[in-house]
Structure 1
Amino acid sequence: MMEDSRPIIDTRESINAVGNMLAAVLKSGPQYPNHLADTYTDISRSIPSIIPSSQDATASYQRVCKAFLDNVIRVRGMPIKEISGSDEQQSQNVSSSGSHVAKIFDTLRPSITEQFEWCVENYRSQSNTYLNGQIGQFQAMLKEFLDQVPSGGTKDKAIKGSIAEIKKELRSLATWDRLFYTYKARSFPAEIEHIFVFAGNPLAAIWRYSDLDAQGEYQKTYNHQQRDGRVYAVRGCWAFEKGLMKVGPAGYLDAISRPSQELGCMCSLQWVTGVRRLPGDMITDKGRSELDRVTAVIPVERKPENKPQSAAADAGPRVPKSRVMRWFGFGGD
């Protein structure tokens, strides 16, 4: 959860001061040639004292990510809460990533650290862009109001009502960091999960679009709906090396952004770990031949051996069941 150390009363007083300044200008009208321009400048300059900076928001995000990272290191995997008995007070973090990740965790540490640093810097860059955009919207609203102020002032209720809207916008701007954090809260955990999944040597990933992408006030600069259902190959995976698969129409996974990287993205990936789960146009002739061969022998391999096999049966090639089943997706995907 994001921190917020700004005194509520100071923020409220500052916003009310802006409202009083605009009300006075509206009542009297401009008192000198540059009065309206100076009012715009004075209010614009007061914004940094009312809202948190992108640097402060990034520092808070970094602390949140560091706390999560510490838990990841402690449990050697993705942390989840485990409750002992019926007492929630006895809950503790455990790993949901399995023993395989725990065994190779030390080899993954450099990648995890690298993604921690990347996520913080990405947050810094995106938060700065987001904040500048929000400030720009507020300034456009402020300018539109000041452009309506006539000489000698006015009591027009419609124009006066704009002051309340400006204050409302400024109150929203004062909490921009909280909304921004909700857009980015999943980004670091998603990157860590990505590292752990890759440790299991997946072949491809199916993009799953989330309708939540279309929600929220932030104007998206991307359209992930067009990625929905597309299958992206993992470049250099073992199935490529063995000539069993080829890249499909969607291309490679590393050529696109990942879910949660872009601001507001709520999409996810469904991983493909077996050749038989790949679309037909991503399986080579060799892959199809091997898949047919493995499919044919699996029923025999799965039968319990109640009697010794004959010498003739031993003469044929054996399929290393556990590994091949896993390769081709018969051991669960």
Structure 2
Amino acid sequence: MTASQSPRPNAPSAPQPLPQSLDNSTSPATDNPKQLLGVYFKGMAMGSADIVPGVSGGTIALIAGIYERLINALGSIGLSLWRVFRQDGGIKGLLAVWRQVDATFLLCLLLGIATSFVTLAGIIKHLLDNEPLLIWSFFFGLVVATVFILLSEIKRWNMGRAVLFVIGIAAAVIISSLPLLTTTPSLPYLFFAGAIAICAMILPGISGSFILLLMGAYDTVLEAVHTHNFTIILTVMAGMVTGLLLFTRALKWLLSHYYQATLALLTGFIAGSLVKVWPWKTDALGTLDSEAVTNVMPWQYPTGPQWLTTIGLMLLGAVLVSLLAWWGNRSNRL
């Protein structure tokens, strides 16, 4: 089905194929080295977004045309893989499981994400600490362009889809505005926080690191990684695996049966995240020294709005995400 076509309005519960502009779900058997290299670079783009608190790698996956394939791959992981393995057993069984979970695609994507964390984390953290206006302006333009591109993919707007879009905006704004918790988390709480955070990482619009920050678990997790506290690390990882398996199955079903409605909700999440990536932020004293910052109008920013720089970086982010969307469309046609 092409992007200009839409699902039958009288059969909302029937599985609906994705528009080509967002569906890059090429069969893993047909992936060639060039396509896998493309998946790797898209993983790098996802990783660079995940580093920034408030920006989700799921947003990049959606605009790059690999989101539905990612959800399908993750959603196929479960106890059913044992039956797939037993059908052939041995090496053939392992290969069948590998194909079932689209493991080559996932491996290339994870390698790209890991590469970004290793090579770009320091640079982006430096910009966030020392040039916040620059990095937030860039991502603000990126998110705005993403919203417009995804809105163009929603066909035949109706009241239900409009309501879902508004609900997505409201949910993202509310989550972004919640006060940060500072209590010392218990292990069951950390398990729950990990499950919620991984859902946010997959869901476009809200980042998993920001959810951990809101729930008061971010510093605990970072400290556990730094001190090699495997009790906390394994607890959070168990929560993430549980949340990932449960959430992706539900999201896979929604994308298959109610794609346009789900896209409207996800686009609302992304639009609502603009509150978090608003470039002009200060703390209560009107300075930039505190992490507890709030959004202000451009002319209230301590160093001035810097229109030329901020608008230029917004346009750069918009151009890059438009090129990424074009690349996803082109990859799907090849």
Q: Under a length normalisation based on structure 2, what TM-score does the superposition of the two structures give?
A: 0.24
Q: Which is bigger in relative contact order (C-alpha 8 A, separation at least 6)?
A: 2
| Higher Rg of the two aligned structures | 1
Specify which structure has the higher proportion of strand.
1
Specify which structure has the higher proportion of helix.
2
